[in-house]
Chain A
Amino acid sequence: MTTANLSQAFMILLRRDLTLAYRRRSEMINPLLFFVLVTALFPLGIGADPTLLREVGPGIIWVAALLAALLSLDTIFRSDFDDGSLEQLLLSPHPLSILMIAKVFAHWLITGLPLLVVAPLLGVLLDLPGAAIRTLLITLALGTPVLSLIGTIGVALTVGLRKGGMILSLLVLPLYIPVLIFAANAVATSGAGLPVEAHLSLLTALLVLAVSLSPAATAAALRISLS
């Protein structure tokens, strides 16, 4: 048996996760539906006045995206934990934190990227101007990977627990606040016709920070949870 080198292992893991997700593609739809549904609830709750919706729209869409990301987090390790392949992964000779990046990246492609596809639709529903919708897409592209990266730490900490779901939201949501603040504000600012470079560079900084720090934390958390 030959052992794969690190980049091969990375690609193998990525392809495996994507294949598995493709086989269960109906599951991919659920967080998306949730995203759309939660957003659609708000006009029903607060009234359909277009100026009001335009004002609160960025916040609503981002809160809904946050919840959708949270809801889909659980699947990242669930099946691997159930069939024991997660423990195999821990025994791999490659640095676990790099492999974690592969897992998170696959997970983001499956659950984060689709949010970007439906987001413009939601922007139209809430009567956001075109510039705001464009910023919404950029912030989602920058922000949802951060959500996946941070969230995975929480999943790694709760993976063995029977009632992990509720605790997971308690652990993860407070850590999502900076993303929510910068991203929702960027959308609102661009809706008002103002420049958003500062917001976007802050979000990029968050992304860089999350990519560089969170895989190590996830790896350490997994080793503890499965010990």
Chain B
Amino acid sequence: MLKFFHRMASPKYFYQFTGKLIPWLGIACLGFMLAGLYDGLLVAPTDYQQGDSYRIMFVHVPAAWMSLFIYMVMATAGAIGLIWHIKLAEVMAISSAHVGASFTFLALVTGSIWGKPMWGAWWVWDARLTSELILLFLYLGVIALYNAVEDKRTAARATSILALVGVVNIPIIHYSVEWWNTLHQGPTVTKFDAPSIDLKMLIPLLLMAVAFKLFYAVVVLMRARCEILQRERNSGWVKELVRASS
């Protein structure tokens, strides 16, 4: 096991290994997603309160879970990269930012679309939507900083710090927004609470959650491979690869 990790730290080996791994992850992701969609759109019963609109949950909730999960992964990878100077961890951290921002965006948009029939408005300053919006800003800050710093090595390290600062702040922001929300709106019941979850609704939700996790793994590895190609462009194995592909 240790040997495996040691070898994975070599960019060349990582590139080759993930090249073989990605198709399998992709197939698994597709399988879970199709099963989840079938289960969620056809098998799961109509909710007696929300009708069929609750089916948005099967993309909204996994996306919201992923948005936070990816930020945690990004900060952890960034911390590992900063402390032990592992380049691969830096690469994983920055490769996570775009996917994370996408999932946050998805959670926001689907939440807002779900809110329209439920609340009668496209946007309500609900605690969760607001937190999600701030999370999107945090992601955009990370991406903007990475793009602004010329030297990508420095950029990756700077964004790792920013991600760590963000991770300390996320619970505080979340708590403060929740607190603010109860003060200003009174204890309105959040409609996004899974409606008295039935097992038939839980299964597609979990299937979609697994599918989204696998999707993240596929995309983050693809991005990491690009990043590695760029960083290792002067090494022998990349030149060989370029020669073979052209």
Contacts and interface: CB of A to CB of B under 8 A. Distances in A.
Interface of A: 150, 153, 157-158, 160-161, 163-164, 167, 170-171, 173-175, 177-178, 181-182, 185, 206, 209, 213-214, 217, 220-221, 224-225, 227
Interface string B23-55: 000000000000000000000000000000000
Given A158-B145, A164-B148, A177-B134, A224 B158 contact: yes
6 contacts: A153-B165, A160-B149, A174-B137, A174-B141, A220-B82, A224-B154
B202 to A, nearest CB: 33
Main DSSP-derived SS at the B contact region: helix
B154 to A, nearest CB: 6
Contacts of B172: 178, 206, 209
Contact of A174 (B145, B149, B168, B173): B173
Contacts of B169: 174-175, 178
Interface residues of B, number: 28
A185 B177 CA distance: 12
A185 B183 contact: yes
B144 A167 contact: yes
Given A174-B134, A177-B173, A182-B176, A221 B141 contact: no
A150 B162 CA distance: 11
Given A175-B166, A177-B173, 5 more contacts: A167-B145, A171-B145, A177-B176, A224-B154, A224-B161
Nearest to B137: A174
B164 interface: yes
Interface string B175-211: 1110110010000000000000000000000000000
Contacts of B138: 174
Contacts of B173: 174-175, 177-178
B109 interface: no
Contact of B148 (A167, A175, A182): A167
Contacts of B164: 217
B154 A225 contact: yes
Contacts of B183: 185
Contacts of A213: 168
Contact of A217 (B134, B157, B161): B161
B22 interface: no
Interface in B117-167: 134, 137-138, 140-141, 144-145, 148-149, 154, 157-158, 161-162, 164-166
Given A171-B145, A174-B134, A174-B137, A221 B176 contact: no
Contacts of A181: 176-177, 179-180
A153 B183 CA distance: 31
Contacts of B175: 178
Q: Which 3 A-B pairs have the closest CB atoms?
A: A178-B176, A174-B137, A171-B141
A175 B177 contact: no
A38 B111 CA distance: 34
B177 A177 contact: yes
A23 B173 CA distance: 39
Given A167-B144, A170-B140, A171-B145, A157 B162 contact: yes
Contacts of B154: 224-225, 227
Nearest to B147: A167
A179 B141 CA distance: 19
Contacts of B158: 157, 221, 224-225
A221 B137 contact: no
A157 B161 contact: yes
A160 B151 CA distance: 11
B140 A224 contact: no
Contacts of A158: 145, 148
Contacts of B141: 167, 170-171, 174
A185 B168 CA distance: 23
A54 B140 CA distance: 35
B73 to A, nearest CB: 19
